[in-house]
Amino acid sequence: MYYLVGLAIILAIFFLLIILKGKPGIFNVNLASRNIDNTDRQRIVSLWNKVEELISLGKPSQLNEAVITADKVVDYVLKKLYPMEEVSVERYKNAKIFFLEKQDYDDLWYAHKVRNELVHNLEFELPHAQAVEVINKFEKSLKIIIKDLKI
């Protein structure tokens, strides 16, 4: 009898874990805090200060550089979290676990796609307002991934 009760409990836990595995943030809530040390945090803040400096200068070329640098900062964090992933697109896919809101994750992808368009399309011109919007999306994503990050 106790054997059956124990087996039922084990099966219930197993199925609960399977169900929760697909939920964003359930198992990796503290992953970023464990893998991002103080040296990394200082580097992230320093790089982000560069992004803000470029924004304040306001020229189109500097805004473009700010968008590219913001993407690099996010990718730096994701490389720390997923060192085995060699391609940034895979790291971005894995980042989904940090986002409780689908829209926030979609915003990260949007920002990354705008950055790609900026880098790969010679004809693409990024309006000032869109550059600021994209940078804000990168910043929000960083704060979601690293909950206690002060940038």
**pLDDT per residue over 113-143, tens digit each?**
999 999 999 999 999 999 999 999 999 999 9
- What's the confidence (pLDDT) of residue 150? 77
- What's the confidence (pLDDT) of residue 80? 93
Per-residue pLDDT for 93 more than 70?
yes
> Hey, what domains does the chain have and what are their CATH numbers?
29-145 (1.20.120)
* Whole-number Å distance between alpha carbons of 36 and 56: 28
DSSP 54: H
Q: Which residue type, as a one-letter code, is found at position 30?
A: N
Q: Residue 4: which pLDDT band, with cuts at 50, 70 and 90?
A: low
Q: Residue 67: which pLDDT band, with cuts at 50, 70 and 90?
A: very high
Hey, what are 66's tokens? 């700010």
Phi, then psi, of 128 in degrees rounded to 5: -55, -50
Hey, what are 56's tokens? 């304040």
- What's the confidence (pLDDT) of residue 2? 67
- What's the confidence (pLDDT) of residue 149? 77
Condensed to tens digits (0 to 9), the pLDDT of residues 7-62 reads: 556 655 655 555 544 444 444 445 555 678 899 999 999 999 999 999 999 899 99
> What pTM, to 2 d.p., does this model score?
0.78
- Specify the range with the lowest mean pLDDT, choosing from 17-21, 61-65, 83-87: 17-21
